[in-house]
Amino acid sequence: MTHSEPLSAESDEAAHRCLVAGFDGTTTVPDTLKRLIDRGLGGVILFTRNVRDAAQVRELTDTLRALRPDLLVAIDNEGGGIGHLVRAGAPDVPGNWALGVADDPELTGRCADALAGHLAGLGISVSYAPVADVQGRPDNPIVRTRSFGPEPELVARHLRAWITATEARGIASCAKHFPGHGGTRTDSHHDTAVDPRPRQELDLAPFRAAVDAGVPMLMSAHVVFPALDPDHPATLSPRILTGLLRDELGFDGVLVSDALEMKAISGRYGEAAGARLALAAGADQVIVAVPDLETTLACRDAVLDAIRTGPPARQRVTEAAGRVRRLAERYAAPSAAVRDWDDGAGREAARRAVRAQALPRPVRGAHVVDLFPPPHPALNWGGEDLPAELRAVDPTATGTALTREPADPEGFAEEVLRLAEGRPLVVAVCDARLHPWQARLRDLLLAGRPDTVRASTGLPEPGDGTVCSYGRGRVNLRALAEAVAGAG
């Protein structure tokens, strides 16, 4: 076969099946996307940019399926502060770390059921969750409270509960990020990430548990594991995707890449080469999450060019497309009937996590300073803060939320101390180890008010305080506010 020889219709459709595309729009489908769908596009991924309200999302997913009934409609839907469906009435469930602290798999299943039931009602068929990563390094910048915890077996038992509950709703779950992102000190959204541990120390047990639980999808990590393959990130490594995942762990579901525009791939290889190499390594679908459909087209063209090189590439893409087709037969059509889910499961879990620790004496009428990093654009909704949740349970409370160091920290601290004069002061930080400006500002306030109630909305660390929400989802912050004010 030469580069000038036309492809068969079957090969053309197979190449499109292997793509998941992001796009702009809440009510209309771009013409370029329509053409991709007509040629067999495997899936689309929705983000906050595609969400206005629940009715609009359902109308959008119906419109997409009218173009092609077997199109998979996917979204990142981990719960807590990680998700894009707040405007569409997403159930309030805490992030995974809080579920791990509560450590009740039945409760985790109820939370996963609420998320999956909501997706079914919106016509979304694939949930890129749960996170199977073990939070192994205190300086890891990307997993953190998205993980169920620091121990592989803890993570494994909650994965099983999540996958089972999601499957019962007819939604495809996707355990991520194989073979783990918790041992890195770099966010692969921004740069090459490396896990330097020897093979025997890698956290593969949760992924084995997910495969044993029948998870239909796994997502690869853009992480280099020198003990497994020193030359390629997992997403592009035949040794990891085929040798380890397929041959050793026995996974035969759909393996999807993390987004190709992440700098660990795009910065070194480019999205188009990344698509070609990922599929050759053993991936079945690649995600192009950016709304610029020209990038998706470039990835598509790279896959078509690969097919033209001869039978090995054509057979690999045909195999991948077959897995995607089987997944679509099972999940593409959302459940016809959506039963009610347990609206209280998330509140119960968040409260149990907060109250699983020694709590400070409740205070009323407090002034709260909430320090946290800006929302991650690829992951977070970011519309929640602790002052708002505290005022909801104690209208006499006041507060300030801050996502970056003020130009005049000393002046800011002086103003806070003035506002809090004669009142309790609460200072919350979120992962201050990674964002030292928070610790500096907290210490300025503690110097003026040694009686300050200290709190954390991220991973608890020495010096952070006496009460922790273990996440920044709205329900996490409400549970923390209730503990501070003695309410709920």
Q: What is the pLDDT of residues 265-302, one digit of tens each?
A: 999 999 999 999 999 999 999 999 999 999 999 999 99
User: Which residues are within 8 A (CB) of 269 and not within 5 positions of it... i.e. 6 or more apart?
Assistant: 236, 277
The confidence score (pLDDT) of residue 439 equals: 94
The confidence score (pLDDT) of residue 337 equals: 66
What is the per-residue pLDDT across 227-253, written as a single tens digit (0 to 9) for each?
999 999 999 999 999 999 999 999 999
**Taking the CB of residue 153, how many other CB atoms lie within 10 A of it?**
12
The confidence score (pLDDT) of residue 3 equals: 47
CA distance 253 to 212: 12
Cα–chain-centroid distance for residue 81? 9
What is the per-residue pLDDT across 430-473, written as a single tens digit (0 to 9) for each?
999 999 999 999 999 999 999 999 999 999 887 667 899 999 99
The domains found in the chain, sorted by start residue, are: 9-331 (3.20.20.300), 357-485 (3.40.50.10090)
What is the per-residue pLDDT across 389-435, written as a single tens digit (0 to 9) for each?
999 999 999 999 999 999 999 999 999 999 999 999 999 999 999 99
The confidence score (pLDDT) of residue 1 equals: 39
The confidence score (pLDDT) of residue 5 equals: 58
CA distance 92 to 451: 32
CA-to-CA dists, residue 447 to 106, 315, 365, angstroms: 44, 67, 21
Q: Are the beta carbons of 416 and 368 closer than 8 angstroms? A: no
3-state secondary structure of 120: helix
Strand partners, 114: none
Token code pair at residue 290: 């950016």
The confidence score (pLDDT) of residue 4 equals: 46
Share of the chain above pLDDT 70, in %: 98
The single-letter code of the amino acid at 176 is K
What is the per-residue pLDDT across 191-209, written as a single tens digit (0 to 9) for each?
999 999 999 999 999 999 9
CA-to-CA dists, residue 294 to 51, 114, 395, angstroms: 22, 36, 50
To the nearest 10°, report the CA torsion of 308, 310, 312, 315: 60
The confidence score (pLDDT) of residue 74 equals: 98
Catalytic residue, chosen from 84, 118, 189, 435, is 189
The confidence score (pLDDT) of residue 464 equals: 66
Q: Are the beta carbons of 72 and 20 closer than 8 angstroms? A: yes
Catalytic residue, chosen from 258, 385, 394, 464, is 258
Residue from 427, 429, 431, 407 nearest 417 by CA: 427
3-state secondary structure of 212: helix
Establish whether 189 is a catalytic residue.
yes
Cis peptide before 177 (omega within 30 of 0): yes
To the nearest 10°, report the CA torsion of 459, 178, 110, 477: 20
CA distance 417 to 419: 5
Establish whether 258 is a catalytic residue.
yes
The confidence score (pLDDT) of residue 463 equals: 66
CA-to-CA dists, residue 406 to 43, 219, 421, angstroms: 43, 38, 21
Overall average pLDDT of the 60-81 stretch: 95
CA distance 317 to 8: 13
The confidence score (pLDDT) of residue 375 equals: 85
CA-to-CA dists, residue 338 to 94, 118, 120, 269, angstroms: 22, 8, 7, 43
Token code pair at residue 232: 């390629």
What is the per-residue pLDDT across 84-101, written as a single tens digit (0 to 9) for each?
999 999 999 999 999 999
Overall average pLDDT of the 7-27 stretch: 96
Lowest mean pLDDT, pick from 113-127, 155-169, 369-383: 369-383
The confidence score (pLDDT) of residue 382 equals: 73
Q: How confident is the model at residue 340 (pLDDT cuts 50, 70, 90)?
A: confident
